[in-house]
Structure 1
Amino acid sequence: MIITFALMLIMIPFFWLFVTILHFPPLFIITLSIVGIFWPIFPAIAGHLLIYSLFLSLMFYMFLLRLIDSPDICDSVLRLISKSKANHNLISFDSPLEDSDVLQERREVNAVLQNKHKSPILLIHGLTKVFRKSRLFGLLPSDSTPEIAVNKFEENVWKLCEYIANNESNCLNDCFVVFISNEQKMIPLWRQKAGDERRDYLCVWDYHVFIGFFYFCFKFSKYFHSTGSHRALVYDMDSTLEFSLDFSTYSGLTFRDETAIRDEYHRRFRVIEAQIYLTTFASNRSHMRRPDDSWIKDPPLYPCIKTNECDHNLDGFISMDCHRFAIGSVLDINQFNHQFDPKS
């Protein structure tokens, strides 16, 4: 009995941690404690130690789940990882550019959720990802790779899609290519590498392209039923922001408030599945030439991207007329924000 009382005193800080800070259900914790104290089958010291060891293991396990599933904590960790100077290819927890074992785990978890099964696999994989975070190395080429060309948005994105398809093909289903433009071909975007530093890197493009990636964010209700929602990361090679950034942060800093922008500068978005973009996009690079046929900037070293059907359809992707060019969906900024961030 003395040992039980001593163990209870030791457990008080853990009760306080999990109830007041991490907001776990007190009834759940108290029930486990009572079971441990009055367990009739194991009156010996070894029995008590076994019960409390299991209890502590469960609490630590739940703590890790809370850590990985907290959006605030997760976002902070993602930002720290993306700023890491030790390895510039380290991307994020749920990036399409990560360790294949982790990706397979995420696909299994998503399959369980889509089938609406309540399964321990949700907890097991959530814990496993924590221990594997040090192995999440990206597959992207570095900035010095010749295939990455300055201000060649559509081709850079195509090459990135190709890279993902060749290395982690199953992830391509979760990736989307986004073209931004409007009828006047004048779209203001902030935090652009080519922008004016005095105006928070504002640049008015004729069009712009980036990749969005959907992943599933786990949450647990107070009774530990698994729930969750899809979130999005943005990969924009021409932004001064972090390369792997949550959509809500990227949107707020890059697009700003549409109501404060004149109508002729309002942005429209063409959203295309990455797999479709890979098989339909074509460019003969004619838009990269001057009237005298000289290059505005040196073209990429690899051949022009073509399909069996055509050798140039970039204008169709840039066009925000869905009747003229039917690939993808054309959205205004409110529809676009809601699709990538339902809470917006």
Structure 2
Amino acid sequence: MDKTKIVDLIPTTDKCTYTSCYCEENVWKLCEHVKERNPDKLSYCYCVFISNDNKQIPLWYQKSSSALDGVVVWDYHVIFIYNEDDISLVFDLDTKLPFPCDFTEYAAKGIRPNITVKKQYHRKFRVIPGLEFLSTFASDRSHMMDANKHWLSEPPSYPCLQTSDSTNNIHNFISMDPAVGVGVVLNFEGLVEKFSVKPKN
């Protein structure tokens, strides 16, 4: 796929459906957009949940950070990856890096290898095909409420994303237990192996 045509696949940032602190739903909406506009391309789309057992994962170049390097420690984050032939692009509406960003650049600058951070911050990645994410993900947004049922961050204006089987299973997606949920759980090296563009012979 020609990179110049990627704008036909995913809208520009100002036209994307975006709600701060609801990265999983922002990615769901990107998958939905592809399914509705370019369904033949959905098989090249992936949702990637980033977290670990401690629910402490550092990412760099994040817009919400006041640090010079843009570092933030989240409990989890979610990105959209488009991977087809010689193109591998990350779409992250919360990053200061380009939108889209070449996977190699995003991995090196935005994620960075686990060997560069303390073991407690090592990231894992739950990789889910776009179609499977659309058909299985459900959230009642209760994880964004405090003990008094007040919003920690205002939710999207559209209805909760739910399926015929579940009203809330987001914790299975955030979990990095391979025995739980859908998709496949990878370490940093596995993520790079899966999404790096392979040189042509």
So what's the TM-score if we normalise by structure 2? Answer: 0.92
Paired letter, 1:206: D
Aligned to 2:163: 307
How far 1:215 sits from its partner (Å)? 2.1
Given the superposition, is the C-alpha separation of residues 235 and 176 from structure 1 closer, same or farther in structure 2, using an over 3 Å criterion? same
Aligned to 1:185: 55
What is the distance in 2 between the residues matched to 1:300 and 1:281?
Answer: 16
Kindly report which structure 2 residues correspond to 1:1-344, keeping only aligned pairs within 5 A, or say none: 92-95=3-6, 97-98=7-8, 139-140=10-11, 142-143=13-14, 147-198=17-68, 200-217=69-86, 231-325=87-181, 327-341=182-196
Paired letter, 1:203: V
User: SS of the counterpart of 2:159?
Assistant: coil
Q: Is the 8 A contact 2:79 2:90 kept in 1?
A: yes
Q: Is the 8 A contact 1:233 1:244 kept in 2?
A: yes
Count the aligned residue pairs: 199
Percent identity over the alignment is 38
User: SS of the counterpart of 1:277?
Assistant: helix
Paired letter, 1:319: S
User: SS of the counterpart of 2:101?
Assistant: strand
Paired letter, 1:259: I
Q: CA RMSD in A?
A: 2.0
Q: Deviations over 1:42-77 (max 9, x none)?
A: xxxxxxxxxxxxxxxxxxxxxxxxxx9xxxxx9xxx
What is the distance in 2 between the residues matched to 1:303 and 1:289?
Answer: 16
The structure whose RCO (Cα within 8 Å, separation 6+) is larger is 2
What is the distance in 1 between the residues matched to 2:100 and 2:34?
Answer: 15
More strand by share: 2
Aligned to 1:135: none
Q: Deviations over 1:20-62 (max 9, x none)?
A: xxxxxxxxxxxxxxxxxxxxxxxxxxxxxxxxxxxxxxxxxxx
How far 1:343 sits from its partner (Å)? 5.4
How far 1:94 sits from its partner (Å)? 5.0
Q: Is the 8 A contact 1:94 1:215 kept in 2?
A: no
What is the distance in 2 between the residues matched to 1:148 and 1:183?
Answer: 27
User: SS of the counterpart of 1:238?
Assistant: coil
Q: Is the 8 A contact 1:187 1:205 kept in 2?
A: yes
Q: Is the 8 A contact 2:13 2:99 kept in 1?
A: no
How far 1:280 sits from its partner (Å)? 0.3
User: SS of the counterpart of 1:282?
Assistant: coil
Paired letter, 1:160: L
Q: Which has the larger radius of gyration?
A: 1
Q: Deviations over 1:59-99 (max 9, x none)?
A: xxxxxxxxx9xxxxx9xxxxxxxxxxxxxxxxx4252x42x
More helix by share: 1
Given the superposition, is the C-alpha separation of residues 166 and 331 from structure 1 closer, same or farther in structure 2, using an over 3 Å criterion? same
Instruction: Show structure 2 runs of 5+ residues with no match.
Output: none
Q: Deviations over 1:320-339 (max 9, x none)?
A: 001122x1000010111111
